[in-house]
């Protein structure tokens, strides 16, 4: 099914070499060509088929990620606007994005390479930061963009607009703008709703708002969101919890749906609600 694949690995995992070699044996047995990134090369102490991580998505038909959701988020940034599909083997804890269990890696990959899988298009968002001095910074996120304060910062004041219309004035510790994929991340821990990942929408969730009437809002994926930072010290915009930029009073953040979804490869028998029950103990008493 897939003849050329790329491999990314989470750093500093004790079982990484063992599982990487198991994966490579599987691929070689099926005569699948592969490339490995720098971290994978260090893990197995081999430079065979080593390629810079940024180059892999343009060279392969499938990307295999051995890691947790954080590793998947970093790989998603490398994929960028390409349509290279990605599959995740869970080396981490929760594994909402890297859904295949480590102990079932070869079994599930065999089914995938035999064509027993489905594609899931995961919506991403684009964020544009217009600094008060005229500088513009752009980001793409799979999970969320978050406006939040530092440890010693005061409460943040900001205005939010949707499609040019005023939504609300917030006084809060911050604001999460999430995709459905990110709904089980920071959004969930801040009281936001869980949205099934195939759904297309934005979720606006204030962090510790100082007004009880401020509650999470689910918006159309076609919405254009603008946030004006009115007052705040030591404020950051973070993207998928991994990269970001410092904000100042007068800065403006624009968010819209990205035209480039991340394409996940998922075995047909894996179900999002099974993951919820297993990882979050959903519905247990």
For residues 27 and 138, give the distance between their C-alpha atoms in angstroms, rounded to a whole number. 37
DSSP letter assigned to residue 224: -
Which residue in the list 37, 69, 144, 240 is annotated as catalytic?
Answer: 69
Q: What is the DSSP letter of 103?
A: G
Tell me whether residue 265 is exposed, middle or buried, using C-beta atoms within 10 angstroms of its C-beta: 0 to 12, 13 to 18, 19 or more: buried
Helix (H, G, I), strand (E, B) or coil at 138: strand
Helices (H), the chain: 16-29, 38-44, 69-79, 105-113, 186-189, 272-280
Q: Classify residue 84 as exposed, middle or buried by CB count within 10 Å of its CB (0-12, 13-18, 19+).
A: buried
Backbone angles phi, psi at 280, to 5 degrees: -105, 5
Q: Are 4 and 32 in contact (CB under 8 A)?
A: yes
Distance CA 32, CA 113 (A): 10
At 152, list the tokens: 């010693």
Other Cβ atoms within 10 Å of 119 Cβ, number: 11
- Residue 163 bears catalytic tag: no
Q: What is the rounded CA–CA span in Å between residue 155 and residue 170?
A: 10
Residues assigned a catalytic role: 69
């Amino acid at each position: 099914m897939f003849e050329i694949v790329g491999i990314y690995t989470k750093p500093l995992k004790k079982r990484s070499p063992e599982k990487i070699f198991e994966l490579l044996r599987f691929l070689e047995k099926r005569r699948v060509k592969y490339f490995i990134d720098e971290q994978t090369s260090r893990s197995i102490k081999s430079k065979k088929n080593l390629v810079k991580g940024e180059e892999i998505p343009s060279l392969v038909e499938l990307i295999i990620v051995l890691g947790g959701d954080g590793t998947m988020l970093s790989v998603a940034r490398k994929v960028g606007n390409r349509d290279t599909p990605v599959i995740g083997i869970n080396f981490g804890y929760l594994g909402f994005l890297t859904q295949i269990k480590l102990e079932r890696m070869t079994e599930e990959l065999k089914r995938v390479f035999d064509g027993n899988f489905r594609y899931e298009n995961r919506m991403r968002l684009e964020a544009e930061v217009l600094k008060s001095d005229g500088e513009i910074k752009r980001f793409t996120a799979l999970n969320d963009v978050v406006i939040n304060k530092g440890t010693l910062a005061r409460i943040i004041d900001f205005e939010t607009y949707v499609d040019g219309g005023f939504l609300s004035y917030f006084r809060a510790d911050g604001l999460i703008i999430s995709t459905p994929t990110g709904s089980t991340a920071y959004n969930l821990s801040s009281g936001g709703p869980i949205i099934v990942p195939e759904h297309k929408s934005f979720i606006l969730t204030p962090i510790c708002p100082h007004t009880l009437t401020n509650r999470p809002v689910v918006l159309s994926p076609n919405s254009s969101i603008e946030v004006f930072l009115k007052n705040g010290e030591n404020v950051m915009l973070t993207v998928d919890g991994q990269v970001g930029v410092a904000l100042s009073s007068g800065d403006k953040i624009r968010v819209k749906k990205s035209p480039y979804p991340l394409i996940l490869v998922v075995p047909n028998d894996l179900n999002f609600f099974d993951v919820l029950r297993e990882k979050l103990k959903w519905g247990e008493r």
